[in-house]
């Protein structure tokens, strides 16, 4: 069954439109209907606010939409970074207070707003942060989402590349330390709980993680 993780509205995760922020996550798609939402922070009713990521088809890649507060109009629409089914992708969006940038696997995927978009952003005052689908469970991703982080600053391209490289490096825990060290306000390690029982000299030891 599809599942999502939701966080009730937090002002810290919805800063004013002129304030910088960064959203980062890893996703491992297994299929696509061109409308999957791995990370969501949008008010969908009325004049839309906030933002949402979409996983489009493999040839199109990842899509960030930021809403401008006029009906369902999109203020910023960035797309890029092809992905492969059953392989992890590192996806990051940076808002510097006036412009958005999309990075995939440590590289810039798109900085040019789609034609006809206003270039405005309407920060939300009530959005529910959701991982895995819309806040109501709609448009679920068919696959996995992990290591979701929100920063109250615009990460640099060098920082984003360092994160991507750290995740595939040999040092255990270096990626998590880097995320926390760069000031993540939210860091969701979507690791399922695991329980193991080991018996040594008839003494059982239970280990729980997650």
> pLDDT by residue (tens digit) across 63-107?
999 999 999 999 999 999 999 999 999 999 999 999 999 999 999
> pLDDT by residue (tens digit) across 130-183?
999 999 999 999 999 999 999 999 999 999 999 999 987 777 678 999 999 999
Which of 162, 127, 165, 130 has the alpha carbon at shortest distance from 145? 130
Cα separation, 172 vs 64, whole angstroms: 30
Cβ proximity of 50 and 65 under 8 Å = no
Q: Is the pTM of this model over 0.75?
A: yes
Cβ proximity of 43 and 172 under 8 Å = no
Maximum pairwise Cα distance, the chain: 71
């Amino acid at each position: 069954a599809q599942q999502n993780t939701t966080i009730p509205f937090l002002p810290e995760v919805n800063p004013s439109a002129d304030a910088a922020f960064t959203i980062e996550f890893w996703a491992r798609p297994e299929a696509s209907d061109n409308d999957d939402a791995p990370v969501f922070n949008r008010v969908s009713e009325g004049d839309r606010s906030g933002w949402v990521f979409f996983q489009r088809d493999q040839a199109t890649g990842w899509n960030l939409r930021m809403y401008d507060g006029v009906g369902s109009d999109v203020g910023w629409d960035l797309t890029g970074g092809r992905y492969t089914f059953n392989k992890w992708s590192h996806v990051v969006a940076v808002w510097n207070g006036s412009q958005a940038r999309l990075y995939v696997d440590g590289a810039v995927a798109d900085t040019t707003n789609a034609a006809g978009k206003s270039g405005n952003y309407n920060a939300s005052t009530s959005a529910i942060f959701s991982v895995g689908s819309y806040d109501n469970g709609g448009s679920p991703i068919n696959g996995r989402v992990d290591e979701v982080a929100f920063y109250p600053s615009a990460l640099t391209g060098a920082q984003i590349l360092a994160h991507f490289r750290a995740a595939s490096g040999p040092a255990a825990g270096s990626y998590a330390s880097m995320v926390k060290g760069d000031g993540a306000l939210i860091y969701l390690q979507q690791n399922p709980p695991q329980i193991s029982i080991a018996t040594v000299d008839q003494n059982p030891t239970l280990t729980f993680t997650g």
